[in-house]
Each structure stands twice: as structure tokens, then as C-alpha cells.
DNA sequence: CTATATGCAAATAGTTTGCCTGTTA
DNA sequence: TAACAGGCAAACTATTTGCATATAG
């Protein structure tokens, strides 16, 4: 997991088992967990890990470009380790969040002059195919 | 303010002075206030208004299409009454949020089959022109 | 007149902090 | 061995809830 160490280091963060564990959790199940969910999953194999540490680790991962925050609605912030350009499709029925790659050269974003774009988040809300099918029955 | 009443009614909500006041607050200053900020401003001209009522009213406005929620980062949800297609440009230096209209026919969003899009939020993070200028000095 | 909304206060998330101990580089 | 990070518990902030009272339609 050398990419992990490099990234952490580049961000000015040290390697710790907790950070690794939190990253593993994100990579294992790509379901955009909340910090609380990450905490519960991380705890399964690292029972001493604390709440505060999970928040710390998530911050470190976000700051070193290993994860993103996703804030969809009121409620807990979610996290995902997919660093490619993508949007989040959020099903309002089942609550699932799907990553959808952005088409290359999508001429989408306005570039107001002077504004330096660092990153952007696109969240699309609606109803997923499965839930739409169920609703029809 | 007939548009307001129509909208509320269509959403299945009753007119109340509190809802009107909350909507006024959003319309007066388009600075994407948090619920707490709305509460403080609403209270100035309606001292009896309560915290819970402000949250209620904001929900009613969102559900009847009179306002949108904007969730930018960890922290409080913000609200805006601009219902046109637009993105939010968020300056990480000064914290301001600017509305920027989306170009017509921007072919931006992937349409994964089966997914019924209800609405989407585009948040662009970076540094605004003013802050960039200040940083250079 | 009745369903719905408000006001209040207390409860419940979600997140951060302080302080002391442990660990990485 | 000197920062930096973790653990724990408590503090804070954001949001929700329960219930009695008020009010819009």
C-alpha cells in the first residue's frame, strides 16, 4: 500500500495503523459511509480506535487527497475514496449513493473570471432504477 | 406575495406568518445563511419565533420549491431561495457562496439509464477573485 | 371546528476539543 | 527524542422531538 504512504507523506501526515485502517474501511465497501459508520467498521478489527481518531483520520485522508467528503443533505457527512472525476447519484428512496464517471470534455462548468477552482462536487438527487421499478409494482 | 401562497398551497402547506417571515429573510439577503442565521434574522422582527419553527419553515419552503438546501462542507446546512438552475461557488478563504447561472444546454450530466433525476446540486470550491487578489499583496 | 403549525424545553445527533499518553520518523 | 497522533471524556453545535396551545382554512 505504497500509494497510501506516499500520499499521506506528501500531505505532511505520518503513517499510522489507524489511518491505514480507516482507509481500508473506505476501500473495502464503497458505499459512502458516514464518519459514524466508518467508526463502527474500523472498530471491528481495531477495538481501541476512538471516535475522535476516526474524525482525525478522515481529515488526514481528505487533506492528502486519499478521500473526499460528500455532503448530500442535512445529516452526517459521507466519505468516499474515489478520487476520479465523478458525480454522486443519490437515491432518495433507498438512500444509496452511486458514483457515476463524468464524461471527458463535458463543457459544463462556468468559469467566473478570477475564481480559482480547486475542486467541485456534483450531487444528483432522484430515484434509482431499482426503486423506480419497485414503485411501479 | 401570491407566488409564495400558491407554492406553499401546492406543497400542501398552510400559510403562516412565520413561513412568510422566513422566506423574507432568505429573499432579503441572498447570502446562503445557515438555519441558525435565519433564526437570528427572523427573530429581529418576530421575537416569539422559535428555533424549531425556523427548521419547520425551512423544510416547508424546501418541500414546496421555494428554497433549496445547500450542503457545502461539514457544518450547518445553508439555504437559498434562488430556484433557477445554478451552481454554488464557494470561496474557501472568505467563506462566501456565489450563485453562478448554468449555461443553457450544458450537456453536463450523465443520464444513467433508469435513474429519475429530480434535482442536482453543483458546488465548486476554490478561492474567489477578491481573496486571490488579497493573497497576492 | 379540526387538522396543522407554533413555542418551549429537553433530547438526540454529529463533530470538536483538551489533556495526557503513546508512537513515528 | 521531538513532534505528531491516539484515546477518552467532556464540550459544543446542529437538528429533532414531545407536548400543550394557538390558528389557518
Query: Given this model, what pLDDT does residue A7 score?
Result: 96
Q: Looking at the complex, report in whole angstroms how far the Cα of residue B15 sits from the nearest Cα belonging to chain A.
A: 24
Residue B71: exposed, middle, or buried by beta-carbon count in 10 A (0-12, 13-18, 19+)? buried
Question: Cα separation of A27 and A81, whole Å?
Answer: 6
What lies within 8 Å, CB to CB, of B135 at 6+ separation is B93, B127
Give the closest of A120, A126, A133 to B118, CB-based. Answer: A126
> What's the confidence (pLDDT) of residue B1?
58
Distance CA A75, CA B38 (A): 18
The values of phi and psi at residue A94, to 5°, are -95, -10
Q: What is the pLDDT along chain B (137 residues), one digit of tens a residue?
A: 589 999 999 999 999 999 999 999 999 999 999 999 999 999 999 999 999 999 999 999 999 999 999 999 999 999 999 999 999 999 998 999 999 998 776 667 888 889 999 999 999 999 999 999 988 76
Q: Give residue-wise pLDDT tens across range A32-74.
A: 999 999 999 999 999 999 999 999 999 999 999 999 999 999 9
Q: What is the pLDDT of residue A105?
A: 60
Distance CA B50, CA B45 (A): 12
The strand pairing partners of A34, in sequence order, are: A78
At A25 the pLDDT is 98
Please tell me the predicted confidence (pLDDT) of residue B8.
97
Residue A106 is predicted with a pLDDT of 61
| CB proximity A42–strand D (7 Å threshold) | no
For A125, the grid coordinates are 438527487
Check residue B11 and report its DSSP letter: T
Whether A107 has a pLDDT exceeding 90, the answer reads: no
Q: How distant is the alpha carbon of residue B39 from its chain centre?
A: 14
Of residues B72, B71, B73, B76, the one with CA closest to residue B54: B76
The residue with cell 458514483 is A99
CA B41 – CA B59 distance, rounded (Å):
17
Tell me whether domains B2-79 and B84-136 share a fold. Answer: no
Query: Considering only CB atoms, which chain A residues are within 8 Å of B98?
Result: 112, 115
Nearest to B93 by CA among B127, B137, B130, B129: B127
Cα(B31)–Cα(B34) distance, integer angstroms: 9
Task: Protein contacts on strand D: list nucleotides below 7 Å from a Cβ.
Answer: 4-10, 13-18, 23-25
Phi then psi for residue A54, to 5 deg, are -60, -45
Q: How far is B115 from chain A (nearest CA, A)?
A: 4
The architecture in CATH of the region A2-79 reads Orthogonal Bundle (1.10)
Fold of domain A84-136: Dna Ligase; domain 1 (3.30.1490)
* DSSP alpha helix (H) spans, chain B: 2-10, 17-28, 35-45, 51-63, 129-136
Domain spans, chain B:
2-79, 84-136
* pLDDT(A94) > 70: yes
Where does residue A57 rank: exposed (0-12), middle (13-18), buried (19+ CB within 10 A)? Answer: buried
Cell of A119: 475542486
Nearest nt to B71, CA vs C1'?
Answer: D14
Which residue reads 444546454 in cell numbers? B105
- Secondary structure in 3-state letters for A72-112: CCCCCCEEECCCCCEEEEEECCCCCEEEEECCCCCCCCCCC
Cell of B58: 425551512
Which A residues between 97 and 116 have a beta carbon under 7 A from any strand C atom?
none
C-beta neighbour count of B107 within 10 angstroms: 11
Amino acid at each position: 500500500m505504497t500509494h497510501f504512504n506516499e500520499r499521506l507523506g506528501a500531505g505532511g501526515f505520518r503513517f499510522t495503523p489507524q489511518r491505514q485502517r480507516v482507509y481500508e474501511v473506505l476501500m473495502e465497501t464503497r458505499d459512502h459511509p458516514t464518519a459514524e459508520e466508518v467508526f463502527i467498521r474500523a472498530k471491528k478489527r481495531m477495538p481501541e480506535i476512538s471516535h475522535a481518531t476516526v474524525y482525525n483520520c478522515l481529515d488526514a485522508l481528505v487533506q492528502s487527497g486519499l478521500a473526499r467528503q460528500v455532503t448530500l443533505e442535512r445529516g452526517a457527512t459521507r466519505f468516499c475514496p474515489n478520487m476520479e472525476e465523478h458525480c454522486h447519484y443519490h437515491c432518495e428512496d433507498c438512500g444509496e449513493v452511486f458514483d457515476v464517471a463524468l464524461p471527458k470534455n463535458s463543457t459544463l462548468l462556468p468559469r467566473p473570471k478570477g475564481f480559482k477552482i480547486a475542486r467541485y462536487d456534483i450531487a444528483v438527487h432522484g430515484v434509482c432504477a431499482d426503486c423506480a421499478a419497485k414503485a411501479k409494482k
